[in-house]
Amino acid sequence: MCGVFGVYNSRTPAEDTFYGLYSLQHRGQEAAGIVVAEHDAEKGGTIFRQHKGMGLVSEVFKDEKIFEKLHGHAAIGHNRYSTTGASKSENNIQPFSLNYRSGNLAIAHNGNLTNSQVLRQELTERGVIFHASSDTEIIPHLAALSPEQDPVRQIYHALRQIQGAFCLVILANDQLIAARDPYGIRPLALGKKTDPKTGETAYYVASETCAFDILSVEYERDIEPGEILLIDQITTKTGKPTSLYLPPSKRKARCIFEYVYFARPDSTIFKHSVDKIRRNLGKNLARESTVSTTNEDNHLIVASVPDSSNTAALGFVRESNKLNRPARFEHGLIRNHYVGRTFIQPGKANREIKVRSKYNIIRGVLQNRQIILIDDSIVRGTTARMLIKLIREAQPKEIHLHISSPPITHPCYYGMDFPTKGQLLTNLFNKGKGADEEVESIRNYIGVESLKYLSLQGLLNSVPKFENETCSYCTACFTGDYPIQRADADEAECEEKE
Amino acid sequence: MCGVFGVYNSRTPAEDTFYGLYSLQHRGQEAAGIVVAEHDAEKGGTIFRQHKGMGLVSEVFKDEKIFEKLHGHAAIGHNRYSTTGASKSENNIQPFSLNYRSGNLAIAHNGNLTNSQVLRQELTERGVIFHASSDTEIIPHLAALSPEQDPVRQIYHALRQIQGAFCLVILANDQLIAARDPYGIRPLALGKKTDPKTGETAYYVASETCAFDILSVEYERDIEPGEILLIDQITTKTGKPTSLYLPPSKRKARCIFEYVYFARPDSTIFKHSVDKIRRNLGKNLARESTVSTTNEDNHLIVASVPDSSNTAALGFVRESNKLNRPARFEHGLIRNHYVGRTFIQPGKANREIKVRSKYNIIRGVLQNRQIILIDDSIVRGTTARMLIKLIREAQPKEIHLHISSPPITHPCYYGMDFPTKGQLLTNLFNKGKGADEEVESIRNYIGVESLKYLSLQGLLNSVPKFENETCSYCTACFTGDYPIQRADADEAECEEKE
Amino acid sequence: MCGVFGVYNSRTPAEDTFYGLYSLQHRGQEAAGIVVAEHDAEKGGTIFRQHKGMGLVSEVFKDEKIFEKLHGHAAIGHNRYSTTGASKSENNIQPFSLNYRSGNLAIAHNGNLTNSQVLRQELTERGVIFHASSDTEIIPHLAALSPEQDPVRQIYHALRQIQGAFCLVILANDQLIAARDPYGIRPLALGKKTDPKTGETAYYVASETCAFDILSVEYERDIEPGEILLIDQITTKTGKPTSLYLPPSKRKARCIFEYVYFARPDSTIFKHSVDKIRRNLGKNLARESTVSTTNEDNHLIVASVPDSSNTAALGFVRESNKLNRPARFEHGLIRNHYVGRTFIQPGKANREIKVRSKYNIIRGVLQNRQIILIDDSIVRGTTARMLIKLIREAQPKEIHLHISSPPITHPCYYGMDFPTKGQLLTNLFNKGKGADEEVESIRNYIGVESLKYLSLQGLLNSVPKFENETCSYCTACFTGDYPIQRADADEAECEEKE
Amino acid sequence: MCGVFGVYNSRTPAEDTFYGLYSLQHRGQEAAGIVVAEHDAEKGGTIFRQHKGMGLVSEVFKDEKIFEKLHGHAAIGHNRYSTTGASKSENNIQPFSLNYRSGNLAIAHNGNLTNSQVLRQELTERGVIFHASSDTEIIPHLAALSPEQDPVRQIYHALRQIQGAFCLVILANDQLIAARDPYGIRPLALGKKTDPKTGETAYYVASETCAFDILSVEYERDIEPGEILLIDQITTKTGKPTSLYLPPSKRKARCIFEYVYFARPDSTIFKHSVDKIRRNLGKNLARESTVSTTNEDNHLIVASVPDSSNTAALGFVRESNKLNRPARFEHGLIRNHYVGRTFIQPGKANREIKVRSKYNIIRGVLQNRQIILIDDSIVRGTTARMLIKLIREAQPKEIHLHISSPPITHPCYYGMDFPTKGQLLTNLFNKGKGADEEVESIRNYIGVESLKYLSLQGLLNSVPKFENETCSYCTACFTGDYPIQRADADEAECEEKE
């Protein structure tokens, strides 16, 4: 996964992009980069300048001098998620910036293509050279080889050929282009801000609206599935970006896992507040829950794995009380602020110290109580298992683990960084078992008194409905129902995901 | 403020101290250091080795190689709080390590002395040289000049002469010494851990018990006010540390502000769980609150300034509901994980971005609602004011700010890093005014519909009682009732606090 | 200018390349990089790994851990000279590593192409994307678009299309390829080393033989002008690299300035010892000199600008004495060892401190004497002028500046980093003047009693003759006689030189 | 060994000290520091600010921002030589800065005390605390304990008690104090510079005059043996520093090894040019040499180990020719500019690469010739041995190693960083042998055709005579004739030398 950001017609495009990427930091912590475009007054073209590096946004841009060079009128930026193997190279840090027959181009991509291998093969046969292992590099090559003359039409031509999940922000000389795949898998929003003094309007594009809030930018609307949006000098005068549309897909496939875990709770994605959806998940989980208070306790204690499951826990409590199953929210776990990427752990033998370094438990609220612990998902299960072991030190009476989504059973080919099928916890325990037996095996492995996953029905009832759509979400990781078939072979996909 | 830590008879004293300091990071982010003691097999004495630096523990010890050198059997460590002016020097990073007539000594100090200027003056008259501006350096000089031969008796001799707040951990050659002032102003706890294989017992001393939890160390008891505890080779055999006691003070003066704000919620200090006390603060605040729901709303929305006020908010909600004033806890503000010390903010003109970078607001839960916002204290008021401005963007109906402690009206001379009296927010508005008028002025400045401080009575009812004590807490910052008179002049105190 | 290095069939290719680049550091201090090739035992292909960065070789590779990753059987490396403007980007650090239809390719280039603009224009028209501003990137694109299947034939196809100066070392999957342009403008040598234990032979390619000496590698022969040398698995068995030859050029054009200044004195380039040629330059300068001792002095004092002019000064002294003009070599100037790239100069107002920081003068040997100061060349004249001012402080009787090459009057289009014509010192003073008048103007500007340049005849008499060649050297910077016409326009050349 | 520097009444004292220390870099590469004094306009005293760190001056002060803080009117600085063991601590970086009864004091020391252990013992018995292992720390303690009130008198009082070698520069509040031990073991010079605009005079003190030259400061005179020089506000008006004098010693003992190797050739120390003395050493070596040309050769080739032996080699050649033994100077070895402290050497197995990385050999001038190689001294012999092995690759006919000083047979207790007696090369081979046999053993170990040391007579004839002195130099390292008896025990000395 990744975060993308773009800005046009700002006087401080690099600074804006810095704050935007900072707000999108949760979408990618491995690397960050900014490319700025400036009119070249002397020669009449557009100059691109960039700064990129491995690490958090605040680490890559820790020197304020960097911004002195990055002046211009437009910029794009990218946060890269942790990736594995060969792609850990600095060559793969986005945005990619390049020069081709129509001038300068810079591109930032969130998503994952499903026919990148096939296209890469075809392109190399034609003599194309690749510098990075990322599938993103295919797109500018397709544009450069297109018969079109106009950059936005070249991009259109390129995007018709690619398959999979993509949200793109592109600088093409003087222009900013934003695009979203026809399935609408990843989120992408458009914002505006008018300078009260000059009356000039700046345009913003971001993976999530939290990047607008930090800049006091107003959320305008989503980039629609299949839309290619062009912002240029004319837009700043007319106030209207131009849009092209890719051929529509048979269905939509918004990533439901963005709502479950990935997006920031204060963002609006797919036109709805993430926080509200998470609250729904908690409510539905309460409706499905069968845990009741024992004689001695008059309340269930509901705790969440902070911070991503906090809202679901609050929704759970509220609904549970409505259903006359008294429950009380408690901060039983506190997340440590000082764990950063640079945190070393000397004396590694003691593996459990990792989870101890990340979470602090509040013994008083857990001791001798019936705990319902809310988490959003279980991927590999190792952290959950260690966390339960830690909570046991507070001597709770019982721990009931409730997950606000169904079991993850299938890998994601559209950008979510799940492990291969073989590494998913569900896969370890489902050899020839029924679903119930499988959950029982996982419960036993994690070490809790009971384990409850939200049902698929419950999940679908929690997320917004879109009119005139028969199918609005991708639930492949829970169901195996993949909206887009993959043209590429299996192995490479797993390695090159980002 | 600062955090101190000590360990004796561990095989990994530097690693233990690293994790201990990491857990105490909230007590001081400016600098960190570790001194390790090792028996010198060849020469028969004890070798001290150290590593110190400016920054977070994880920054100062980011290279694992550092630990390869820091082997031994005992160690002490120190986190320094942000200080101002001249003391920002690297010379002031603790522990101080030195050589004197009885061998090697290393010292780490949490607190602030009230007669350091007087003693420093006397010592310099006798020809003593000072290397740092910290008042801590006085202590080893007094020990070195004592007529005693035994380090622990020299320390006793030194501590009889100093006044003020001190929790000390000291390495004296082969021994570990821990000491706490007779007033008991700052917390200091003793822990133990027995190696299941060897049966050997390691001893631990820390400002807060959260430093024990990360190491699976068992909390044994507090170092008592006035106690000087000696742990040496004999202790490891008898299992009993030796204690000396300083003459008792007339009263005790545990810092009540440690409970209100400073200590970590999962710690036990002054023998009681911080989380539980904070819950009491919230409950008492609810009892004193006069805000009631308007007609349309059936619940008050209670939000906290994360993370320090979370527990008080939960206590508030619970009590409010008991009192039939329906209230609901919501995560209206979320703290950003990625704000670190190295976070730059390009384009500073826009000052409000600082608070935007630290907190995210969840519009959905705030919009059009009556909000009770719980915070633990207001010092300068600038952050509170900007935070309210940010929350206003979510268009709440009303914001009622509730503070879980009384107004801070006086500076702290015992180590809490408040500004001088003139900089306290209360001082800006109390020129010839009554208390009510003053609160009204602050409410207006912060920009909220109502402002409620917990009463002093409410505060004192929230904290534990100690038997056989007439006066157990220092409340000077709220009342001006200073337990220890200062021998030093005013100005220097403000500058040299740490 | 740049340095290139390659190694094949070594067990420590990255370490070998590190030492090779370290020895070639004088050819480029701005950036350095190494690409290593390793057989992929699992998949059967070849894996490339790289490390690159801005700065000296010792800075870029200051962490020994880098080498742990760079294992393989072959490697190439590159030192980049200081460049200006847009090309100062990290994107331009060589070797360039890429993936194309025939697998992996990495390329390092010393030289400068004269038709890169034309080719780049043609390639972009065909849809090619460029990532760097360097002209080197053209070569792999031409190879990728060639109809050939075999990498070495693709390279041959590419090199037939480019014009200008190039020495290349290339990793093409499992193979090492070295190539030199038909004019032989830049030097490139082949070396061998046989492991006494295993009997295996490793092959080496380097810009200068000094890179062989540090590794105890034996100099075998030069890569001939127009030769494309292929070293692969078969070579390691037969002991014979394969060679292809580009069509011969009408003349040869070895850069005579490599002998004058650029190459290291302990290297052998163009089949002859640089030190010996420099000695010849000094001897011929002595023959042409007209400075004679005054009555009082019985010796001329000959000093050199260290270290590049030391040998010429020794040759001058020897010949002068033969001609019965008594002369004595003295170390009148000493070069400071501690001036590095990171050397800051606070308080810049005082500009002359720069030359003072670089050179120390020995007053005793200069005071009251007739000095002949030998330097290899004058480019901009600013350093020479400040140096003379510094030497004046030692109060010499007279300073006679002798330059061991003719005046530089024309820019270099083949890789030497001279300024544009307008910035050359000679250009400042030759407006409508004869040659003598011009030298007189420069003498006056520099501030010396006399100024003597070696004649072109003297220069040509100092360098080796090559049999069966009518024209062996490029002297364009002294004469304007350019061996290769430029297809590109003027301006871009100046900016993109490296 | 170390370098010290001081400046008074400059507007840029930190910058001046930076350049001064940079020029004295050869005297110490391990650490560097600067302390600046500024009048405190508000409070009327003097504020000290400092910056110190491990590494070269250019590394410690690589950030220009450092100088923004270091404003004032006076400064002192220190370069520390490489030390071993415990003293490698950052605690030991000078200048030491401290606060005592008379205000602020900062001290920088070049030399080594011989009664530091005794004094340290006495001081600790009195209750004094030591922070560093350096003997320098004794001096401010003695001053602080002195009955005197005036800092310069306190320093006088302190210096009367210490024995050994010391050159000191001290900031005492508003004053600059410079002092040199009565034996005059280490050099210390006084300089002046008058600002042409303001007419104000700035005063400078430095270990060597090369630190004056870079700043265009005029060398005034030496600080005399036993002199304590005071520069203060009055001095800037009267133009006359005040001097106190320590009781005279029985003899003088200027370190003759400063002339042989340590000082920079362009410096004046002990009132004479180092370059001239080194030339004398070469001349006397020529007179004592017995190597003559063989039949075939008409000249001996004389090469030096650069850069320290260059001048001696020139002197040798000149004298040899006068004596009708024809000799010619050649640059047979060239020192590599790019070897710095940060230079790593991957693949350490190959130890000889260290000497290859430092020196380049010019084969042409060495091959098949009779070489006289001039070096200044042999300490451990390991580098010499590897260097000879390297030169052998150029296949010289014979190598005759000539050393421009006698064999080092005794350790230095006055600051020169020789190894312990046991590690000296001479000690390895002198078990029960005569002097000739010993030299023969060393010759064989180093691997040369002949080995010639300059005689003690030859050395003494090369250095300046001082009138009215019976004994002017310390030659203890060559003779064991120690001018000052050591009060301290043996072992500690070796470890704590700096």
* D109-155 confidence digits (pLDDT tens): 999 999 999 999 999 999 999 998 889 999 999 999 999 999 999 99
**Chain A environment of C96 (Cβ under 8 Å):** 131
Confidence of residue A431 (pLDDT cuts 50, 70, 90): low
Convert C225-262 to b/e letters by CB count within 10 Å (16 or more is b): bbbbbbbbeebbeeeebeebebeebebbbbbbbbbbbb
Determine the pLDDT at residue C85.
Answer: 40
Determine the pLDDT at residue B446.
Answer: 95
The number of CA neighbours under 13 Å toward the Cβ of C195 is 13
Q: A323 near A295, Cβ under 8 Å?
A: no
- Mean pLDDT for chain D? 91
Angstroms from A346 CA to nearest CA on chain B: 6
CA pair distance A389, A381, nearest whole angstrom: 12
Angstroms from C221 CA to nearest CA on chain A: 34
Determine the pLDDT at residue B357.
Answer: 87
Residue-wise pLDDT tens digits, A319-372: 999 999 999 999 999 988 776 555 566 765 466 778 888 899 999 999 999 999
Residue-wise pLDDT tens digits, A239-258: 999 999 999 999 999 999 99
Is D2 annotated as catalytic? yes
Helix axes B382-392, B435-446, angle to 10 degrees: 50
Q: Average pLDDT per run of 10 along chain D, which is 498 residues long? A: 95 96 93 94 88 90 88 96 57 92 96 94 96 91 96 98 97 97 98 92 97 95 98 94 96 97 96 97 97 79 92 96 94 82 59 82 93 94 92 95 96 86 76 82 95 97 95 96 85 38
Determine the pLDDT at residue B27.
Answer: 94
Question: Residue A345: which of A360, A355, A335 has the closest Cα?
Answer: A355
Residue-wise pLDDT tens digits, D156-210: 999 999 999 999 999 999 999 999 999 999 999 999 999 888 889 999 999 999 9
Highest mean predicted confidence (pLDDT) among B47-56, B488-497, C160-169, C412-421 = C160-169
- Whether this model's ipTM surpasses 0.85 comes out as yes
Angstroms from A143 CA to nearest CA on chain C: 8
**Whole-Å CA distances, C435 to A216, C404, C432, C476:** 68, 17, 10, 17
| Residue pointed to by tokens 């005013």 | B490
A438-461 average pLDDT score: 96
Higher pLDDT, D438 or C33: C33
Neighbours of D356 (CB within 10 A): 23
Confidence of residue B487 (pLDDT cuts 50, 70, 90): confident
Contact B275 A64 (CB under 8 A): no
Determine the pLDDT at residue C433.
Answer: 73
A494 has pLDDT over 50: no
Domain boundaries, chain D: 3-249, 272-474
Q: Which fold has domain A3-249?
A: Glutamine Phosphoribosylpyrophosphate, subunit 1, domain 1 (3.60.20)
Locate C439 and state its tokens. Answer: 């030298």
**Chain D environment of B50 (Cβ under 8 Å):** 89
Q: Which residues pair with D48 in a beta bridge?
A: D37
Determine the pLDDT at residue D494.
Answer: 37
Q: Who among A14, A22, A343 is closest to B338 (CB)?
A: A22
Q: Who among D14, D275, D337 is closest to C364 (CB)?
A: D275
**Whole-Å CA distances, D162 to C308, D495, D496:** 49, 19, 16
Q: Which residues pair with A104 in a beta bridge?
A: A99
CB contacts < 8 A (B, D): 65
Chain A residues with CB under 8 Å of a chain C CB are: 50, 89, 91, 96-101, 105, 124-125, 127-131, 133, 140-141, 144-146
Higher pLDDT, C90 or B196: B196
**Chain B environment of D101 (Cβ under 8 Å):** 124-125, 127-128
Locate B432 and state its tokens. Answer: 């010839």
Burial of C41 (0-12, 13-18, 19+ CB in 10 A): exposed
Confidence of residue B493 (pLDDT cuts 50, 70, 90): very low
Question: Residue A217: which of A10, A14, A36 has the closest Cα?
Answer: A10
Q: D76 near D98, Cβ under 8 Å?
A: no
Locate C411 and state its tokens. Answer: 């820019």
**Dihedral sign of CA atoms D457, D463, D465, D470 in order:** negative
CA pair distance B264, B307, nearest whole angstrom: 10
**Whole-Å CA distances, D392 to C215, C264, D370, D383:** 15, 20, 12, 14
Tell me how many helices (H) and strands (E) chain A has.
19, 24
- Mean pLDDT for chain B? 91
**Edge-to-edge strand ranges of the sheet holding B218-222:** B46-54, B31-39, B74-80, B2-8, B201-206, B189-194, B218-222
Q: C377 near C260, Cβ under 8 Å?
A: yes
Beta strands in D292-397 (DSSP E): 300-304, 327-329, 333-335, 359-361, 370-375
CB contacts < 8 A (A, B): 138
Contact A99 C127 (CB under 8 A): no
Contact C100 A124 (CB under 8 A): yes
Chains that touch D (3 or more CB pairs under 8 A): B, C
Chains that touch A (3 or more CB pairs under 8 A): B, C
Active-site amino acid positions of C: 2
Question: Residue B172: which of B148, B195, B201, B198 has the closest Cα?
Answer: B148
Q: A32 near A78, Cβ under 8 Å?
A: yes
Neighbours of C21 (CB within 10 A): 29
Contact D331 C318 (CB under 8 A): no
Which of the following is catalytic: A2, A210, A471, A494? A2
Determine the pLDDT at residue D498.
Answer: 33
CA pair distance A330, B317, nearest whole angstrom: 11
Correct CATH for B272-474 of 1.10.1060.10, 3.40.190.10, 3.40.50.80, 3.40.50.2020: 3.40.50.2020
CA pair distance C435, C458, nearest whole angstrom: 17
Spatial neighbors of B163 by CB under 8 A, at least 6 apart, are B113, B114, B115, B484, B487
Determine the pLDDT at residue B289.
Answer: 96
- Least confident among A32-36, B115-119, C337-341: C337-341
Q: Given this chain, do its domains B3-249 and B272-474 carry the same CATH topology? A: no
Chains that touch B (3 or more CB pairs under 8 A): A, D
DSSP secondary-structure letter at D295? S
| Residue pointed to by tokens 């004292």 | D13
